[in-house]
Structure 1
């Protein structure tokens, strides 16, 4: 196996989005900080209601997918398709904006911790105008795997391979073949994760600190720092402290990106069309709703 190592570290920066929700953004701070097919990664987390209470009122998207993973708290998703989903601790919402969706994500609590991630996952040109779709994934639908003592892996998307075991998450079969793992390691434990060799991959510790083995040395990765990985078919993680992290991997699309706020297309002309469609009420023109099929392992 060819082991991956960290080739770039992006410190998450405090910003606000929606109606003033305080977040930490790593990927997506500027157009140079993308990692095909990943466009943006936000981590939100606070016990102060003022940091999240106004939420994300109704807003549009076109041309990509959003993945929201709730670690703690309760938010309500509503969209123009009539979907309504209660996103609670440990749950995920996977939304394909496609040709256009208007949705909101609003807190359903007035106090206590609200914490989680939102990932923007690009779509290839052939899929940017496909029908919008949405699915809720409950915590019970996300496999939890324990490859060794002191190690836990939640498989949200893709297939986690360890030895002869192959654990499939509820999301599979997408064109970018995303892998999305929530990994928890106790101090001093070590885990080698197999990854598709052609995928881009990254790490983001949100509690504790992590090291990545590179030959006989260790590369350190601090809390709330995104570590972009080199090519290879595996990465070896070592826990400096008790650490919780997400590992993301996806098949690069390799197409030009044109972005204006919540619209991500391939050309400036397509962005201008998206803006016109939204202004004229055509972004979500009538058409069949899409469908995201969940993998249901036997």
Structure 2
């Protein structure tokens, strides 16, 4: 991060939008969505989706090791970060991973040619589960890479103390003097800012990044680059095309706020999106659906039944 004395000019604001409310599980459960519901995928490129949730666990812990409240489902062609601020994370996948992780923590996948996974079921009834699921697109030539997976515990999520009353947790990118643990295919920066009352901070997004968005997901801020007050649920698209305007300024007065920064390098490639599959053409979508129907998806997976913990080799059971 450049010092404030050498700070470049502030990024101009292009759009201010409200988050949407979606039903990703097909039932009563809802999440708040900054993009694409607030900012379209064309404008948020390379970021595909940001779902924010803060809900009390209603079903309690899974009663069986093979039970997941977010049941088994496929992904292909992008990167995923599941960043939890409260609760306990739980995950299983077709690479043979079975993990739980404390929070704040993160579980990420570069799903590549295909992953099947399931989530949830680690929290007692009534526990507040707060966090994000973020999808990032990847270049066409990398969509069929072998999948990669990682779990990031609290100690490996860098927290940077900035000005009085401002701290920043770096999820991805080299920013604020640290390197985020989410190693995405595409070049991005993701930072979670926590701001107390009467707090302010200035920083710059990286060179070469031509998409920048700020999402006020909790509380409210009194100014973002001259915007005036912004309440929770507001997502702001900034003009990141100028080499001379890379700066961001956030400030609060009487209240506190939590704010996410998303900055990235645009792909400028066609998007063919079918639920949990993101490719470049409809033909690629059809090929993936054929693989799902024929049972050949995912092409890279362990050679045991990853849905049943009892089928795992002894050394792999967790």
TM-score class, shorter: 0.7 to 0.9
For 2:141, the equivalent position in structure 1 comes to 126
Q: How many angstroms does 1:183 deviate by?
A: 0.7
More displaced stretch, 6-15 vs 58-67 = 6-15
Residue 181 of structure 1 pairs with residue 163 of structure 2: no
Q: Is the 8 A contact 1:19 1:55 kept in 2?
A: no
Q: Is the 8 A contact 1:18 1:55 kept in 2?
A: no
Unaligned stretches of 5+ in structure 2? 1-7, 63-67, 303-318
Measure, in 2, the Cα distance between the counterparts of 1:55 and 1:6.
Answer: 40
Residue 63 of structure 1 pairs with residue 73 of structure 2: no
Measure, in 1, the Cα distance between the counterparts of 2:128 and 2:185.
Answer: 35
Q: Is the 8 A contact 2:83 2:131 kept in 1?
A: yes
Q: Deviations over 1:67-118 (max 9, x none)?
A: 1110111231100110112133200111111110000012312222111000
Q: Secondary structure at the match of 2:284?
A: helix
Equivalent residue pairs, number: 282
| 1:206 paired residue among 217, 222, 227 | 217
Using structure 2 for the length normalisation, give the TM-score.
0.82
For 2:104, the equivalent position in structure 1 comes to 90
Q: Is the 8 A contact 1:19 1:56 kept in 2?
A: no
Q: How many angstroms does 1:287 deviate by?
A: 6.5
For 2:305, the equivalent position in structure 1 comes to none
More displaced stretch, 196-205 vs 43-52 = 43-52
For 2:32, the equivalent position in structure 1 comes to 24
For 1:13, the equivalent position in structure 2 comes to 20
Q: How many angstroms does 1:140 deviate by?
A: 0.4
Q: Is the 8 A contact 1:19 1:57 kept in 2?
A: no
Q: Secondary structure at the match of 1:276?
A: helix
For 1:267, the equivalent position in structure 2 comes to 281
Residue 105 of structure 1 pairs with residue 119 of structure 2: yes
User: For residues 182 and 134 of structure 1, do their structure 2 counterparts lie closer, same or farther at Cα, with a shift above 3 Å needed?
Assistant: same
More displaced stretch, 198-207 vs 119-128 = 198-207
Residue 73 of structure 1 pairs with residue 87 of structure 2: yes
Measure, in 2, the Cα distance between the counterparts of 1:154 and 1:243.
Answer: 14
Unaligned stretches of 5+ in structure 1? 289-298
Measure, in 2, the Cα distance between the counterparts of 1:74 and 1:55.
Answer: 14
Whichever of the two has the greater Rg, that structure is: 2
Residue 155 of structure 1 pairs with residue 170 of structure 2: yes
For 2:251, the equivalent position in structure 1 comes to 238
Q: How many angstroms does 1:169 deviate by?
A: 1.9
For 1:294, the equivalent position in structure 2 comes to none
Q: Would you tell me which structure has more strand in proportion to its own residues?
A: 1
Measure, in 1, the Cα distance between the counterparts of 2:23 and 2:231.
Answer: 22
User: For residues 64 and 123 of structure 1, do their structure 2 counterparts lie closer, same or farther at Cα, with a shift above 3 Å needed?
Assistant: same
